[in-house]
Amino acid sequence: MEISKKCSRVAPSATLQIDAKAKKMKAEGLDVVGFGAGEPDFDTPSFIIDAAKEALDQGMTRYTPASGTVKLKKAIVEKFRKDNGLTYDPAQVIVSNGAKHSIYNTLQAILNIGDEVIIPSPFWVSYPEMVRMADGVPVSVITHEEDNFVPRPSAIEAAVTEKTKAIIINSPNNPCGCVYDKNTLEAIAYLAKKHDFYIISDEIYEALLYNGQKHISIASLSEDAYERTIVINGVSKSYAMTGWRIGYAAGPKDVITAMSNYQSHATSNPNSIAQYAAAAAIEGPKDATKAMVQAFHERRDYMIATIASIPGLSAKMPGGAFYVMLNIKGILGKCWQNRRIDGSMAFTEALLEAENVAVVPGDAFEAEGYVRLSYATSMQNIEKGLARIAHFVSALQN
The tens place of each residue's pLDDT in the chain, 398 residues long, gives: 999 988 888 887 776 777 778 888 889 999 999 998 789 999 999 999 999 999 999 999 999 999 999 999 999 999 999 999 999 999 999 999 999 999 999 999 999 999 999 999 999 999 999 999 999 999 999 999 999 999 999 999 999 999 999 999 999 999 999 999 999 999 999 999 999 999 999 999 999 999 999 999 999 999 999 999 999 999 999 999 999 999 999 999 999 999 999 999 999 999 999 999 999 999 999 999 999 999 999 999 999 999 999 999 999 999 999 999 999 999 999 999 999 999 999 999 999 999 999 999 999 899 999 999 999 999 999 999 999 999 999 999 98
Cβ(320)–Cβ(181) below 8 Å: no
Residue 329 and residue 195 share a domain: no
Residue 295 and residue 273 share a domain: no
Number of domains in the chain: 2
Question: Does the residue 52 lie in any domain?
Answer: no
State which residues form the domain around 148: 60-283
Say how far apart CA 224 and CA 42 lie, in whole Å.
Answer: 39
CATH label of the domain that carries residue 254: 3.40.640.10
Residue 312 and residue 241 share a domain: no
CATH label of the domain that carries residue 370: 3.90.1150.10
Closest C-alpha among 292, 175, 189 to residue 231 = 189
Preceding omega of 318 cis (within 30 degrees of 0): no
Question: Does the residue 164 lie in any domain?
Answer: yes
Of 253, 268, 283, the one marking the end of a domain is 283
Of 234, 265, 283, the one marking the end of a domain is 283
Residue 361 and residue 247 share a domain: no
Question: Does the residue 160 lie in any domain?
Answer: yes
Residue 367 and residue 309 share a domain: yes
Of 283, 315, 341, the one marking the end of a domain is 283
∠ CA 377-380-381 to the nearest 5 degrees? 50
